[in-house]
């Protein structure tokens, strides 16, 4: 294939065409035309790089061709060199005005002709390059804008926000700044119940508000999905005002579902900290109040960072701890007033950490619930409990039932019942000895599945207790739909009973109701003789709390039982 550029030579005199062809045939693919019309046809037939055009021709002269070419977008850019038979100044001028790139006077001087063509082509190439450059620049600028700007909201994206904020802080090292981090509560739900467009509209509206708020003195950016960050001079940070403005801006959209923003604030005390870490700190403050009804913003303090470090330590060490048997089961007796003895116990996990010492479950259970590790830890605890019951049975000829805590996560696991069945079979226990404490969080999450699961467990002979009864919102509702064997009244209730008459009245009603429904009651957190007397007075029989015993290691629990037997 001929890859040479095409030169169109238009001249009615054949000999002229032959001469010119010879000058250029090495560099160009030559196409000849004998008049203007042929020239136009040739232009249409192929991509032509340059035209040598005789001005004086029959049919359609050179001026007409030139004019036609310049009118046509496709040909207008093709350089045309016109050829005149004699030094006709006015023709040349006219041709140049019509857009010819240059002119050549006959007879042809090969060197001059070549030179002119080269010049014209070089100029043309330059033009093309310029056009290409402009296009490229435009594309680069556009790309840059894309890289800097969040595509949905048009404000800075995460990287641009980090960069601009770092520059702002460096430039104004003496001024006080704060990082504000915003998050919409349950944004996923908003996307689910409304159309995606509505969610996007909320984000765009919030972005506009933040942009105005940041103004010239600050920066703002969208960090990810529904997370926004701002850097503002601390003097401008009036959080109540900012939140109220944000609320009313979003309210103006007139959505039926209320959109709740939470914010965390990190007053920058170290301008050299990477901005992403500043955002993490503001976000940490935010996380500490997320879901709260009363508090919509919070300030970062050092304790939050300590908590985060602790959480990291816990997650880092958990796997090894389980393998190394650092988790152990403590038992807290449940005392029967009527029988005046221990009738059962609750298994409570402890972490004997090699460097941190004993870590109580409050510090790791919620973390494990978030990362799923609780499923494995609970199964470990249940297995331990089965072993303990079996050993007790072997030693004393009989055993007391022990209850275990069942995290809400297990109700998402179809294998729960199978696991329990296998466990009691392996340890040769009757299912009623192994009691399961469930709390209402599982029920609120997933009422149907939880109810089914509880029903199946009870059908197989397991005893199910409703834990922390009275501490939440739906306990009564749950009882209605979910038949259980007993309830454990939350310790916060017991604490209040002595102080508030109202709490006392509710407690009495709960006890009466439980008896009517033939459910057992265990009262948790009994700490004083007064509480015992009061509870006995309203008909409670089973108590668990420090008044009787703290949770104790297995051996100590066995000793408690032995003492009772000896007494």
Kindly list the residues in this chain that would bind ligand C2E in the complex (CB under 6 A).
332, 348-349, 360-362, 365, 374, 378, 381, 405, 407, 467-468, 491, 524-527, 544-546, 551
Strand, helix or coil at 289?
Answer: coil
- Minimum separation from the CB atom of position 471 to ligand C2E (A): 9
- Cβ nearer to ligand C2E, comparing 121 with 381: 381
Measured in residues, the chain has a length of 567
Beta bridge partners of 350: 328
Select the residue interacting with Ca ion from 378, 384, 437, 440 (CB under 5 A): 437
Both tokens assigned to 380: 């470990």
Both tokens assigned to 320: 């090894």
- Cβ nearer to Ca ion, comparing 405 with 407: 405
Cα gap 518→198, rounded to integer Å: 51
Both tokens assigned to 182: 């915003």
- Cβ nearer to ligand C2E, comparing 165 with 544: 544
- Minimum separation from the CB atom of position 408 to Ca ion (A): 13
Window contacting Ca ion (CB under 5 A); options: 25-33, 82-90, 139-147, 435-443: 435-443
- Minimum separation from the CB atom of position 181 to Ca ion (A): 35
Neighbours of 431 (CB within 10 A): 18
- Cβ nearer to ligand C2E, comparing 9 with 348: 348
- Cβ nearer to ligand C2E, comparing 108 with 380: 380
Are β-strands 402-405 and 434-438 bridged in parallel, bridged antiparallel, or unpaired? parallel
Say which residue the tokens 């739906």 belong to: 474
- Minimum separation from the CB atom of position 268 to ligand C2E (A): 37
CA distances from 509 to 351, 515, 523 (A): 38, 10, 14
Binds 360: which of ligand C2E, Ca ion, none (CB < 5-8 Å by kind) = ligand C2E
- Minimum separation from the CB atom of position 403 to ligand C2E (A): 9
DSSP 523-553: EE---SHHHHHHHHHTT--EEESTTT---EE
H/E run at residue 434: strand 434-438
- Contact by Cβ (8 Å): 351, 326: yes
Cα gap 189→168, rounded to integer Å: 36
DSSP 119-185: HHHHHHHHHHHHHHHHHHHHHHHHHHHHHHB-TTT-SB-HHHHHHHHHHHHHHTTTS-EEEEEEEET
- Cβ nearer to Ca ion, comparing 276 with 541: 541
- Minimum separation from the CB atom of position 150 to ligand C2E (A): 41
- Contact by Cβ (8 Å): 523, 516: no
Binds 5: which of ligand C2E, Ca ion, none (CB < 5-8 Å by kind) = none
- Minimum separation from the CB atom of position 490 to ligand C2E (A): 7
- Cβ nearer to ligand C2E, comparing 288 with 407: 407
Binds 514: which of Ca ion, ligand C2E, none (CB < 5-8 Å by kind) = none
Binds 378: which of Ca ion, ligand C2E, none (CB < 5-8 Å by kind) = ligand C2E
- Minimum separation from the CB atom of position 397 to ligand C2E (A): 28
CA distances from 357 to 316, 319, 380 (A): 16, 17, 20
Phi, psi of 544 (to 5 degrees): -135, 130
H/E run at residue 49: none
Residue nearest to ligand C2E (CB): 545
- Cβ nearer to ligand C2E, comparing 8 with 523: 523
Both tokens assigned to 19: 């001469």
Binds 128: which of ligand C2E, Ca ion, none (CB < 5-8 Å by kind) = none
Task: Estimate to the nearest angstrom the gap between the alpha carbon of 147 and the chain centroid.
Answer: 19
- Minimum separation from the CB atom of position 359 to ligand C2E (A): 10
- Cβ nearer to ligand C2E, comparing 200 with 352: 352
Say which residue the tokens 């915003």 belong to: 182
- Minimum separation from the CB atom of position 557 to ligand C2E (A): 13
- Cβ nearer to Ca ion, comparing 160 with 465: 465
Cα gap 229→216, rounded to integer Å: 15
Residues near Ca ion (CB under 5 A), total:
4
- Minimum separation from the CB atom of position 289 to ligand C2E (A): 22
CA distances from 265 to 209, 286, 471 (A): 17, 8, 31
- Minimum separation from the CB atom of position 495 to ligand C2E (A): 8
H/E run at residue 517: none
54 touches Ca ion (CB under 5 A): no
- Cβ nearer to ligand C2E, comparing 261 with 411: 411
- Cβ nearer to ligand C2E, comparing 9 with 385: 385
x/- binding map, residues 443-482, to Ca ion, per CB under 5 A?
------------------------xx--------------
* Residues 366-425 contacting Ca ion, CB under 5 A: 405
Region label for 151, one of left (φ > 0), alpha (ψ between -120 and 50) or beta (otherwise) = alpha
CB proximity list for 474: less than 8 A, separation 6 or greater:
440, 443, 444
CA distances from 533 to 239, 384, 528 (A): 50, 35, 9
Residues that bind Ca ion (CB under 5 A): 405, 437, 467-468
């Amino acid at each position: 294939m001929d890859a040479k550029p095409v030169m169109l030579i238009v001249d009615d005199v054949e000999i002229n065409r032959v001469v010119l062809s010879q000058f250029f045939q090495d560099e160009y693919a030559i196409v000849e035309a004998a008049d203007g019309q042929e020239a136009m046809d040739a232009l249409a037939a192929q991509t032509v790089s340059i035209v040598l055009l005789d001005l004086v021709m029959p049919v359609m002269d050179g001026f007409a061709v030139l004019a036609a070419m310049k009118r046509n977008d496709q040909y207008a850019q093709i350089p045309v060199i016109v050829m005149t038979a004699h030094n006709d100044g006015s023709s040349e001028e006219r041709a140049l005005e019509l857009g010819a790139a240059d002119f050549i006077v006959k007879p042809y001087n090969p060197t001059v002709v070549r030179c002119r063509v080269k010049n014209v082509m070089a100029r043309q190439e330059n033009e093309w390059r310029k056009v290409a450059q402009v296009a490229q620049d435009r594309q680069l600028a556009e790309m840059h804008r894309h890289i800097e700007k969040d595509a949905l909201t048009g404000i800075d994206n995460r990287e641009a926000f980090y960069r601009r904020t770092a520059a702002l802080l460096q430039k104004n090292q003496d001024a006080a700044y704060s990082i504000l981090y915003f998050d919409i509560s349950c944004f996923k739900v908003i996307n689910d119940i409304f159309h995606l467009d509505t969610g996007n509209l909320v984000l765009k509206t919030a972005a506009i508000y933040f942009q105005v708020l940041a103004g010239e003195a600050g920066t703002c950016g969208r960090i990810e999905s529904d997370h926004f960050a701002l850097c503002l001079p601390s003097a401008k940070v009036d959080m109540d005002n900012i939140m109220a403005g944000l609320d009313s801006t979003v309210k103006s959209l007139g959505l039926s579902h209320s959109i709740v923003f939470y914010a965390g604030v990190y007053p920058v005390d170290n301008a050299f900290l990477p901005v992403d870490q500043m955002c993490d700190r503001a976000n940490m403050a935010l996380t500490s109040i997320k879901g709260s009804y009363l508090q919509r913003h919070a300030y970062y303090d050092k304790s939050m960072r300590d908590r985060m470090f602790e959480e990291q330590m816990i997650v880092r060490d958990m796997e090894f701890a389980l393998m190394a048997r650092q988790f152990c089961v403590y038992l807290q007796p449940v005392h029967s007033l009527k029988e005046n003895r221990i009738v059962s116990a609750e298994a409570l996990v402890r972490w004997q950490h090699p460097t941190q010492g004993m870590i109580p479950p409050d510090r790791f259970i919620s973390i494990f619930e978030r990362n799923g590790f609780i499923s494995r830890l609970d199964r470990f605890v249940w297995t331990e409990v089965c072993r303990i019951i079996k050993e007790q049975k072997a030693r004393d000829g009989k055993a007391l039932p022990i209850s275990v805590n069942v995290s809400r996560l297990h109700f998402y696991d179809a294998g729960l019942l199978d696991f329990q069945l296998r466990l009691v079979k392996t340890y040769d226990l009757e299912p009623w000895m192994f009691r399961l404490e469930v709390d209402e969080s599982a029920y609120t999450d997933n009422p149907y599945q939880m109810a089914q699961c509880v029903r199946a467990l009870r059908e197989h002979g397991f005893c199910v207790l409703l834990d922390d009864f009275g501490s939440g919102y739906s306990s009564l509702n749950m009882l209605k739909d979910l038949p259980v064997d007993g309830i454990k009244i939350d310790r916060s209730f017991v604490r209040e009973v002595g102080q508030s008459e109202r709490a006392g009245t509710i407690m009495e009603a709960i006890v009466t109701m439980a008896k009517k429904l033939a459910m057992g009651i265990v009262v948790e957190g009994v700490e004083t003789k007064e509480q015992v007397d009061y509870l006995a007075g309203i008909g409670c029989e089973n108590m668990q709390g420090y008044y009787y015993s703290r949770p104790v290691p297995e051996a100590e629990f066995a000793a408690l039982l032995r003492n009772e037997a000896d007494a």
